[in-house]
Every structure is written in structure tokens, then in C-alpha cells.
Structure 1
């Protein structure tokens, strides 16, 4: 419908004639363009929008009107046209006049969508619109949005050069276009794609490699879709230059090799399948959160010698945590290393932070919101340099090892929403830097250990454990007056270790007592003489008593 609401200005006569010429090539069997007649003001026609002051046509929106026939590029002679959408119709011909200069005078065009015009042909149940070249794009210097998806462009070998004539372009959608390659004409010194924010070249487009220079041209990209494009070879290292990327889909291609550099940040995409095992041994940061990865956590991931930030949260991973997690040596001992110049979203202490440089001294493991199960391996609690650990929203079982008290640098610990059981180990009170703790919604029982920090946390840190009591829950019937002394353990507390400690204690006590007495008798003369007198006295008494008993017996 028209946007000429005030009815003050009629359609420009020149625009009126241009629209009628465009209308001649359209087969409108459903009568969608019944309002397009010579007698009516063109600003009242279906899909036509005019400027209320000048009366010039500024928009033509005929999306999904079941229109057939030809798209006549004569429509581009509308000088003030800023929006043109002919998508999702059944056009089968594009008519481009032979004299290019006579058709494109509209430098005001900002939005152009010819996508997905499918029609029934004699050769195929469904065919697509064909276009031999994109030379007509060059005058559209103000264009910000271009969607040619579904148009067959297999004859256009210079599509990159054509796009290069659009310096203001923000969004380019060319999926299902049968593009052949990424070849760049040697006459072009550089591509001007720096403004691009969205790029979709997906679905049956290429049979070539991704050139390494490609991602250097589009550093502001936030959306990149190259799925199902027959791309092969290695992933270019320049992919990591896309620091603003929020969506990336490289699925269903033939990519191979390792992903280079020190940081791998592919978070918040739609990657599926298993986590790749061929990664650079130099990786320090691995972020794969918010994807659709399945399968188990590959042990190779824990053999990266420099890794200090691992984030696999919000995927579909299953299985247990490999015991080789202890091989993350940078989380066990302090190593000098440089900062990683990559911005990341850091999730710690229940908050989300955006940091521009990754601190190698902030060691993090986040495996939350997956389908992981089994016991939490003892080796994980031996990563004594770890500062943030998040295992929440999984299916972990078993108890927490008392050796957790050795993780002296821990600042944020989240084990909530699992099936962990038993008592909370007393050694947890030794985590003096702990600023965030969440043990809620498990099966913990007994009393919350009394320590300098645990009672300062909100009760929400412990709720959802029906058999757990003590401050800050304050639901215990008695209060423990003499809490056990917290002692971190390096191994599991089993019966053998208890018996061994008891035997050692008894042996040590006997040795101390024996040598305490015997040593004093040997070294101190007065003690020795007094001891001998005592023994003589006892002997005399025993002798007298014995003789009296014997005399009494003989008399009888």
C-alpha cells in the first residue's frame, strides 16, 4: 500500500512511466498488481511508497506476491529509489538493457533483494533465476544490503570484482548462487570489503580453498556463513582476525588441519559434531562455549602444555572428565608467559565480563551446562593454580575430595546442579581467596564446615541440599562447638590410610615413652639411685611376705 498518507502530492510523472514499463513484463495471474493502472496515482499502487513531500518513488516492495515473468532493470531508472525487494516470487528472466548507463542512475539505492525466485520449467520441476554477470552493480555505490541468494551465477567468474564496486556494503547474501571460486583479478590491487558486517556465501558455492587474504578484508564481520560450500584445505590463520565475530558456520565442508595461533575462540556459534583433536600445541586459550559439540572431551585437549583458559560450557558433551586433566601443567605450577592479545568473554564469580587481553595468571576451566557424568577426578583438584572452576549443570556424582583444600588460589567455585553427595570437606575452609561459591542443588549432607568464609556466603550457595544444615542455612538442631581442624589431603581418605596413621602414632608414642624413661635412668645419677632403692625396697617386701607365708604353711 502507499505511504502517501496525507494525499498532498501526486506521483511524479517520470516515475509513473518507469513503473508502467516495469509492469509490462510481469505476469500477474493472481491480480496482486490490480491497482497498477494509468488512471490512478502511482503512489497508491500496491507495494509503491512515495516521499510525502516530493512525490518521488522511494520504495518498491513486491516480496512474495507470486509474480512471474521478467525483472526489467529499467526499474533502476527510479532516481530516488532507496529500497527494492522482489524476493520470493517466480520470475524466470532478468532483462538487462545493453547500454548500461541508461538503466542505473539511482545512486540512492540502499537495499536490493532479488533472492529466491523459483519457477516451474519444462526441464525441471523447480528452476532458479539465472544471471550471467554482475556488471550492473557498479553504479549502485550507496548500496548497503544486497541479497542475490538462489540466483544461478555460475557464469559470473568476477563476482568479487563486482562486489568490490560497493564500498558502503554492510550485508552481502549470496547463498545457493553456484559461485565457482575466490579468484581475484590481478588488475585489482585490493578488495574494498572493510564495511561488511554480514556475509553469507553458503550452500553449493565453491570447489576451492579459502584464500588466506580473504578474512583480512572483513575484520568487522559479526556474521559469517560458509556452510555446505565444498570448501577444502586448511582453515586460514586469518580467520582468527575476525575479533567481532558472533556467528560462524563452517560446517559440511572439507576443511582439515590444525587451527593455528595461541587462542582459539569459536564461542557462541553453531558448530556441531565432536571437538577436533588436531589443535596447535601452542594454544593458550580454547573457547568453544555455546555451540552444539557432542561426544566426549578428547584427552588431547588436556595435553596442551600452555593452556590456561578452557571454556567448553553450554554444549552437548557427555562422558567423564579424563584423568589426564592433571597434564595441564600451567594450572599446576607457576610459569612465566606473555598475555594473549585476544578479547574474550570471561564467566567467573557468577558474572560475565568482557576482557580485551587474556591474563595468563587467571586460570579457568568451565565445563558447565553439558551432559558430563561420573566422579569428579581427584586429578582435577590437584590443579592448585586454578582460579575459576565451573562444573555446574551436569550429572557428576560422588564426593568432593578433601584435597580441594590444596587449591589455595581458587576464587570462584561452582559445582551446583549436579548429584554430588556426602559431606562438604572441612578443608574447603582453607580456600582463603574464595569470593564465589555455589554448591546448591546437589545431595550434600551433614553440617556446613565452620570457616572464615563459608558462613559469609548467601544461603543460595547451599540451597537444594535437603540433608545439609548449618550456617548460613541455620537449620541444624545442634551446633558443633569444637569443629575439626581442616587438613588438606593429597589422596582419598580410605581405611588403610587411617590404620597406617594409627599404627605410626602408637609406635611413635611407645618409642617416646620408652626412651623417655630409660634414657633418664641412664643419664641422671640421682634418678638411677632412687630407682635402684625403689627396686630393693620392693624386693625386700616381697621376700618378707613370702617367708611369712611359708612359716605359716609349715606350722599347719
Structure 2
């Protein structure tokens, strides 16, 4: 928190009494509040208010100059009687719980120099008249996320501002969540400004030029705004007092100016998750000695930087963390990297580095986390350069390094895992060729062993483990001993991924022992039987994946208690019974619902339209009947524009802070094939109702889902016309209406669907001319056969009235031959598709 000093003598030891009008104002303030912590117990009418706790008076005049009522857990509303504190200079109401908007009368405190309203439960529009506080030096609105700033122009009135913290404030327009479009406004007379924190907002702006003239600035954070764009000016060199510069998770581009590496007081530099380009040596190839001596954290992760690391990267004197992963860096790792004696975190993964890992890495005695995955190092890891003997290929020197966290994922290591490695708190060994059995786990808090060759029974775990990923290995047998034979309740486990093994048997009724689970994945195994009712005790569960097993029976009603679920994937099982209505009435946050390839029946209840967050709905290949609900236009998530920015705002798609180690994924059938989506999952919108017994027409309301990317209702009994305004669905990439009984003409609006790259209208009763457009001309006859259509795609000419022209005798014979071949083609296509589905 910023410091505050009154410029003349104050205190509570004076015999000066406070003014009666100010005392009564404070008593009215107290009366309107609830005070469960008794913060205001000293505020008594018969006591001089200058003696009250949290009240600061002038020893000269008795006027109340300051109120320090932060961290008091006060509740209720602020009485406007405070307006009578005409000389108030310091107001701290932080860490309370006021159920109201920020009172506009606060903007009337003309003498106010310090204002802290952070973490206090305020909501609504931040009043513009805060800009009237012309003497304000410190403004802290941190984590008032329920407050909304609909304009930043009022900041221009704060000419004496030195500290500004709006971290976590919602800088969007209140009613409709449209992102703030204006630039960060100019603030005059900013030479005294020392702190700017506008992180975790939705600012859409460049970095304003006035930033670069604030020579007293020592802290700038604009992180997690996603849309701050443009470049960093070379004028950054003016900020000679700067200690922290955090511009991470935005849309900045261009080259990083070399001037940054000459800032002598800079301690923390975070430019990660932007679009910076250029050779890294151009920006950090000639760093000043003072920069090398002062910097403690350098984060350039997830940009588009290229080129070689210079030897200067081994010359930092105080560096604790170096993050360069997810760029396009090439060349070798500098030999002197081991000279970074203070280094605790080293991230070089996902680049194009080559050659041997220097032996000097073994000299990093303070290293806590080392990530070098996914490079082009010779032999994946040149382990021979570390003088390893026969046996294990995991570097033996690590045993002596007191490593707390280690990630050797995707490094090509093989063999057995030495026993000492199981003592590390974070252990990542995914995507290697490691084998053998895993002992019972009692030490690692986070363990990622995905995609190796581990076998045998699942290990038992203790209640220290928070994340366990054993997916895509060769574990076999049942899971009762794993789930039920624990010595105590596993309150810590949040992520459990056992997907892609050879596990068999039924699920035991022991889920009450795992109450903290948020993500459970048992997909792609050979588990069978009914789902036990105790699964409903996982009330914190966000994602439940049971796909591609042999589960049967009905989906248990007890699951309606799992109200936090946003993803359910039960595809590829033998679940039966009606479509569960409770699933759509109780699970309001459901975003991904995949029930593909089961034996479900009944109708799609109109209640499903309450799922406004739904972006993926797949109930294909079941026995569902009835009509498609008309209310599908209520699927809000399929109407609003989406972007990859959503990945950072959706905690549900990324569960861990470890560089995105665990991302949610979904396997969908679209564009005629099965595809796996993970990193771009926030962009995916899909409705698949194919291979059921649906009847009625295609509701025109579907066409309002203008951000839908894939729609498949093939293999049903749908009738009627294709909606005329289907061309409104301009984001559709895949559309399949085949094998129904649709009739009428193909709407001309198809011509405007410029994103469409997969189309199947075959085997309906459609008539007339195929609309003319460059997009539709790109589809061959398989998209249109089995109708009464004409057009160049079918090599059938249209008559003047738009109907197919009668063919000649030779054309008749050719078409008959083609038809025979096409019928056999579809026999093989459908059987091949089923095989592909089973194997994918």
C-alpha cells in the first residue's frame, strides 16, 4: 500500500476536541453500519472523537483529517453525513462489505489526498465526480470487480495523482459487457505519478505517450487486459526510476526496444503473452551492467521472438526467474547459464534450441523449477554430456540439487524412474518413454506422468496430492483399491486424470472420499457397470469425463447436486433411459455437454434452452425423438463473438498455474471427421443432433446462433424447408443436413456463408438450382446427391425454370453407373466412419 503523511502536526494525544458537527457526522456513520468486529466500539458520544480508534484529527484545529476504517469488515451503507467532514484528507474504507454503489458525495471531499476503497464490496458505476478530487495523490480501487467504469475521462482531473491502483476493476460498459473502446485518457501534470496499476481489466488502447514523461514512475502494471496493443516506445528510456514493468497478457507487438535493457533500477520485467517479434539479441544483446546487476525477474514467455541467446544471459547477478518458453528461439543454450547462482526458475521450453544442454546447468544449486521441454536438442536431451553411467537416463546430479519442482516433459528420457525423484513436490515427466511400476504416492503435490509406458496397478495416494495425471499409460486392473483403500479422506485432490489406460471393472461407491475433485477423467478405458450414486457428492466438480468405456444404466439422479459442472462427456457408452431433464435445470453453468453414441431416448426438453453458457451440445447417435426446441436462440454463448482471450478468463478451461500444464479438451465429430480441441476450445461452438429419431422442421431460431461453427442434424426424420435466412450463420464452417426429408429449394442466402468448408445436403427431397457462389462451387457432387437438384456440381444442367434439364439417353446411362458407384461408396463410407470413430 502507498504511504501517506500529513504535512503538519496531528495526533490523538492533544486536548483539542473535535467539532460537534463532525462528531455527529461520525456517529451517524456508525449508526448506519453493522460492526461484527467491534471496530467502532470506542466511538462513544461522551468521548472526544479525536480519541476514537481510526479517527485522525488536527492538533491545531480539531478538524477530522483522516478516517482509517479499513480491514474492519464493516457492513451496510455509508451515511451521507460524512459530507460534513469538510477537511478530510485521508479516507480508508478498504476490506469491508458495503452493499451499495460508491457514494457520489465522496467526490465532494476537496481536501482529500488519499482514498482507498479496495476489497469493500461496492458495485455499480464508479462516480465520475471522483475526478473533482484535485488534491488526490493516492487512489486505490483494487479488486472492486463488481464496480464498472463506463468512462476514464474523470481521471484527467486528478492532476496531483502519484499512486493509481485499479487492479481488477471492470473497465467495461455495465449493462451489456461490451469492452471499453476508448484509449487511456491523458492526465495532465503527471510528473509526480509513481504507481500505475490498471491490470486485469478490458482496456482496449495503446500505451499513452504521457506514461513516458512520468519520470518518477517506479511501478507500471497493465497486465491481463488482453487488448492493449501497439508497440513500446523508445521513450521508455525516460523512466529511469522504474522498478516494475508488467505488460503481460495483452496484444502488444513490434520489437522490444533496446532501451529497456538500460533501465538501471528495473527489477521485474514481464512482457509475456504478447506478440513481440524480432531477434532477441537486438533487444537484449547489449544489456547495461546496471540492468544485469539489478534485474531479478525476466519473463518473455509466449511471444514471437527469434534468434540466439547471447552469453549475456549468463551474466545476470540477481536473476531469480528467467522465462523464455514458447517463442522461436534457436541456437544453443549459452555455456555460462550455470553462472546464474541465484536462479530459482528456468523456463526454456517450446523453442527451437539445439545442441547439448550445458553441464553448467548442474551448478544451479538454487534451481526450484527447470523446464526445457519441446526443443530440438540433440537426442532430445543430450544426456551423455552429463556423464551418466548405465541405467537410468534421468540426470543423476539432480538428486543433489534439492530440487522442489522439476519438469522434464517431452525430453525423450526413458527407462525407470529413480526412487528419490518421487520426493519432489512438483514432478512433470509427461510425453517420454518411461516405464515400470509407480510406488504409492505420498510426497509429490503435483504429478504429471501423461503418455509414458508405466504399467501395473494404480498407485495409492495420500492427502498431499492436488493434481495427478496418469493418462495414456498401461495401467490395468480395477480401481477399487485406488479409490477406496486410502488411509483418510483425500481433501486436497482437485485433478485426477486416468484417461487412456486399460482399467477394468466397475466404479466402486467410494467417491465420498474425494470431496475436492474438480476434474475427473476416466475416459478411454474398459470400465463397466452403473455409475454409483456417491458421484453426486463431488459438489465441486467442474469437469466429468467417462467417454469410451462400457458404462450402462441410467445417468444417476444424484449428479444433480454437482451444480458446478461445466463439462460432461459421457460419449461412447451404453447409457439408456430418457434424456435427463435435471441435467439442464440444475447445472446452470454447463458449457460442454457430450452424450454421443449411447442408447438415450425420450425428447429434448425445452428446458435445455436455459443453458445460456452452452457452447458444445452433442447428443448424436442415440434414439432421441421429438422436435428440435424452438428456444435454441437462448444459447447465448453461440450468439456472442468468441476469441482465444476467453481462455484466460475461463478458469474452467485451465486448472493450473503451471504454464498451462492442464488444459481442458473435447473430442468432436465435425467436417466429416473426429477432431480433438484443446488450446482453441474457447472458440469452438458445435451442435450435433445427428443419427437420432428427431422429426418436425429445422427451427428458424437456429439461424440466430450467428457464432455457431458446426451444425449437424443428419440422419433424422426432419421435414420442411431449410430456413431462408440460414445465410446469417456466417461463422458456420461445417453444415450437415443429409439423410432427412427436407424439401424445397436451397435458400439463396447460402451464397453468403463464406466460412463454410464442409457441406452435406445429400439424400433429401430438395429441388431446383444450386445457388451460385464461389463457395458452393467448391463442393463436389457428394454434397448434393440424392435430391432433385441441378447445377455444375452435379453435372446436371438447369432448365429455364430452374429445374433439372431432362438428360439424354447417354447421360441417363452415365448417371445410372454413377449412382451405383455412389451407393457403394456410401456403404463403405458409413462403415469406415464407424471404424474411424472407434480407433480415433
Question: Scaled by the length of structure 1, what TM-score is found?
Answer: 0.49
Tell which structure's C-alpha radius of gyration is larger. Answer: 1
Highest RCO, 1 vs 2 (Cα 8 Å, sep ≥ 6): 1
Question: Scaled by the length of structure 2, what TM-score is found?
Answer: 0.34
